[in-house]
Amino acid sequence: MTFRIASIALVTLSALGLASCGKPTPICDNQVIRQATSPDGAMKAVLFRRSCGGPTGFSSQVSVFAASEAVIGKGNALIADTDGGHAVAAEWGGPDVTLEWTAPRALTVTFAYLSRVIVHESPVRGVDVTYQSARE
């Protein structure tokens, strides 16, 4: 009986030990490239470079939020990369992206031709976002 209790305890401790050795959550870094404020000044769109280390490289990301908020986390509107070099990389490593407000709640996001678009959301925070690829 004592042997069985000891065996169960050893298996449980081993399982807990293995569970705690999983991959750590990557530490990501955001670097603001440019931002554009809506015509009424209430909202802003921010293009930023995001890197989470490792072989993934840099991505270009866009978030839309209230003008008083700061960039945090991943992009809530656009996430794009160069698709392994198929798209031209901007100086920060991700594909170039332009931001143009066409109305207080309408934004056009143009990304480099051949970019791999991972996320493209609309609407975002009440803003209708239109996406287009720039031809070379």
Contacts of 133 (CB under 8 A, 6+ apart): 110, 111, 112, 113, 114, 115
Give the angle 110-113-114 at the CA atoms, nearest 5°: 125
**Residue 72 confidence (pLDDT):** 87
Q: Tell me if 42 is assigned to some domain.
A: yes
Q: Tell me if 14 is assigned to some domain.
A: no
pLDDT, tens only, 10-31: 444 444 443 334 455 568 889 9
Bond from prior residue into 24 cis (ω within 30 degrees of 0): no
How many structural domains is the chain composed of?
Answer: 1
Q: Tell me if 11 is assigned to some domain.
A: no
**Residue 52 confidence (pLDDT):** 84
Global pTM?
0.78
Residue 59 has pLDDT above 80, yes or no: yes
Q: Tell me if 41 is assigned to some domain.
A: yes
Structure tokens at 73: 């986390």
Confidence of residue 5 (pLDDT cuts 50, 70, 90): low
Confidence of residue 2 (pLDDT cuts 50, 70, 90): low
Residue 38 has pLDDT above 50, yes or no: yes
DSSP state of 124: B
Tell the residue number behind the tokens 């955001």, with chain if given.
30
Averaged pLDDT score across all residues of the chain: 85
**Residue 22 confidence (pLDDT):** 47
Contacts of 70 (CB under 8 A, 6+ apart): none
**Residue 15 confidence (pLDDT):** 42
Q: Tell me if 91 is assigned to some domain.
A: yes
Residues 1, 13: Cα–Cα separation, whole Å: 19
Domain coverage including residue 59: 26-134
Residue type, 96: D
Average pLDDT over residues 78-86: 95
Q: Tell me if 99 is assigned to some domain.
A: yes
